[in-house]
Structure 1
Amino acid sequence: MHLVIRDLSKTYPNGTQALKGVSLDIPPGMFGLLGRNGAGKSTLMRILATLQEPDAGTATLGGIDVIREKDRLRETLGYLPQTFGFHPRVSAERLLEHFAVLKGLVDAGPRRDVVDALLRRTNLWEVRRQRVGTFSGGMRQRLGVAVALLGNPKLIIVDEPTAGLDPEERVRFLNLLGEIGEDSVVILSTHIVEDVEELCSRLAIIDRGQILLEAQPARAIDALRGRIWRRTVDRDALPALEREHAVVSTKLMAGRTIAHVYAESSPGAAFEPVEPDMKDVYFSVMAGHHGRDAAAPRAEVA
């Protein structure tokens, strides 16, 4: 069951164009939607979750019209929004039971089996009777995933799930997402490059409401091989470097700046070649440089 998006557009009353003709083909598995804050990710997620109307365009999941058949879509939708709240005095077990009833699991026996299985799957079984108000951020996110998984959804939307999590919780949460992405279309919306690199078999980079790149991560990295060069410079020399070369990213290390530069061949003796990664892909796309597709408004790497 594929999710097919065609020419989705959305402009808010204040004139902000959140989406500008977005088209994507998303197969089953983990799909990463990568972009900075304000790029249009959450608007797209809310439209797909039937919480907002687009101004134009279509989206279909299998035989379901996402825009016009909202009730049908909701029957097979799991959604973990960027921000959500649970009653702090209710236990995880009771809360999940409540949402299971809302999802249509009215028979006590089967509902109990489903709730128990989800608590174990999300590693919350040992704390199932604790109040949600005592949970860490990562535990609350895992409970949100358990709620999203009720009813065996075929479309799962996860919006900025690891923001604010400590490294240990982040790894645990990403492992959980990797497990659920086997039988459904799972869209992971994030501004964290590592989340997409570690989990997703396909990705899209979005900025200012437009898709700049749709690719398999490994092939997007391959397209940059031999085109990323590194040089260490003093901070006050960085402006001159940026005027002379296509600097795609910089980072500070031991008081000096390490700059990654895009170039078809060596930009000079002071530079050394570097093996590209997803950060280089992301920053190259955002800077307008990505292999032979650099001049195109949208690059596709099959």
Structure 2
Amino acid sequence: MLASELHLSIRNVSKTYPNGVLALDHVSLEIPKGMYGLLGPNGAGKSTLMRTLATLQEPDSGEITLGEINVIHQKAEVRKTLGYLPQEFGLYPKAKAEELLDYFAVLKGLTNRASRKEVVTALLKQTNLWEKRKQKLGGFSGGMKQRFGVAVALLGNPRLMIVDEPTAGLDPAERVRFLNLLSELGEKSVVILSTHIVEDVSELCTRMAIINKGKILLEAEPLKAVAKIQGRIWRRVIDKDQLLAVERDHKVISTRLLGGRTVVHVYSETNPGPAFEQVPPDLEDVYFSTMAGVNQQKREVRP
């Protein structure tokens, strides 16, 4: 499969668990090569969709194709070209990074010792772990463990890369290093970044979708989604005891504390009052307005 032909198509996919939870509700997405953000709160259905794409579970209905590969019925073919970094993964704390990556390379089918050593060396350098290759994984920081997970996922030059909540728990410096690594991967592969952190999508992704309760609420290019709500986001700083009244009278999409007071963002097509100031929107405003149901453009955002 040539890089130019890379395209992941998800059509009408649904999944209900035995306990009755509807995790995916007729999800349809078209995902081209590059970085694609799947944004939503915990429990929105992101991990269910990622596990389905990674062939770890089957949907109840729908179709998924990666180029010419049927993801549901050709699991072995998908796994040959798949890199998957789940939200949580186990490592052997007493194993050294280089040794364990070599072991995973054998499992991936790289049986020639010389070529395998070349691949392992290249991946450790690409993930900035070469200087730590003799260190035991138990002594790795959270960000180093995530980067090692990427190295494992990159074995075999995957055409589809899935990363689930990759920056949760990372300190700011590790997060920046990790995001820079992911951005490089998007140049050659379909890379799906599943996260609840808006900044990750804003900084990395050329396309995105917002999912909640198993439904796709919005699919768009981040910059176009932000432009769509230009002039509709208003800000006001209030005391905490004023919040209920403001929520009663206006479409409050988000609140945060600032210096002991509460900053509210309101979605309105007209000035909601003299105490409000209009502010330039960002992707966080897109996310919260969509989740609140006040941004009525629920599918493709067009210029």
Alignment TM-score > 0.5, same fold: yes
1:125 aligns with 2:154: no
- One-letter amino acid of the structure 2 residue matched with residue 110 of structure 1: S
- One-letter amino acid of the structure 1 residue matched with residue 22 of structure 2: Q
1:262 aligns with 2:233: no
- For residues 206-249 of structure 1, the C-alpha deviation after alignment (integer angstroms, 9 at most, x for no partner) is 00000000000000000010000011111101100001000000
1:281 aligns with 2:286: yes
User: Hey, what does 1:38 align to over in structure 2?
Assistant: 43
SS of 2:169's equivalent in the other structure is coil
- For residues 96-120 of structure 1, the C-alpha deviation after alignment (integer angstroms, 9 at most, x for no partner) is 1011111111111111111000000
Deviation at 1:299, TM superposition (A): 2.4
User: Hey, what does 1:301 align to over in structure 2?
Assistant: 301
- One-letter amino acid of the structure 2 residue matched with residue 299 of structure 1: R
1:179 aligns with 2:184: yes
Tell me the matched-pair count.
297
- One-letter amino acid of the structure 1 residue matched with residue 83 of structure 2: G
User: Hey, what does 2:106 align to over in structure 1?
Assistant: 101
Matches within 5 A, 1:227-238: 227-238=232-243
User: Hey, what does 2:3 align to over in structure 1?
Assistant: none
1:84 aligns with 2:89: yes
- For residues 44-85 of structure 1, the C-alpha deviation after alignment (integer angstroms, 9 at most, x for no partner) is 000000001100001000000000000000000000000001
Q: 204, 207, 210: which one pairs with 1:205?
A: 210
Distance 1:107 1:178 in 2: 30
1:112 aligns with 2:117: yes
Q: 47, 53, 56: which one pairs with 1:51?
A: 56
User: Hey, what does 1:170 align to over in structure 2?
Assistant: 175
SS of 2:300's equivalent in the other structure is strand
Deviation at 1:190, TM superposition (A): 0.3
Distance 2:299 2:252 in 1: 19
Deviation at 1:289, TM superposition (A): 1.8
How big is the alpha-carbon RMSD for the aligned residues of Structure 1 and Structure 2? 0.7
1:66 aligns with 2:71: yes
Distance 1:118 1:82 in 2: 21
Deviation at 1:265, TM superposition (A): 1.1
Unaligned runs of 5+ in 1: none
TM-score (norm. length: structure 2) = 0.97
Unaligned runs of 5+ in 2: 1-5
Distance 1:289 1:51 in 2: 35
Distance 2:63 2:299 in 1: 22
Distance 1:256 1:128 in 2: 48
SS of 2:149's equivalent in the other structure is helix
- For residues 135-155 of structure 1, the C-alpha deviation after alignment (integer angstroms, 9 at most, x for no partner) is 001000000000000101000
Q: 206, 218, 224: which one pairs with 2:223?
A: 218
Percent identical pairs in the alignment equals: 66
Deviation at 1:268, TM superposition (A): 1.1
Distance 1:257 1:80 in 2: 37
- For residues 189-218 of structure 1, the C-alpha deviation after alignment (integer angstroms, 9 at most, x for no partner) is 000000100100000000000000000000
TM-score (norm. length: structure 1) = 0.97
1:251 aligns with 2:256: yes
Distance 2:51 2:119 in 1: 27
Distance 1:217 1:35 in 2: 14
Distance 2:113 2:125 in 1: 18
- One-letter amino acid of the structure 1 residue matched with residue 204 of structure 2: L
1:157 aligns with 2:174: no
Distance 1:25 1:289 in 2: 25
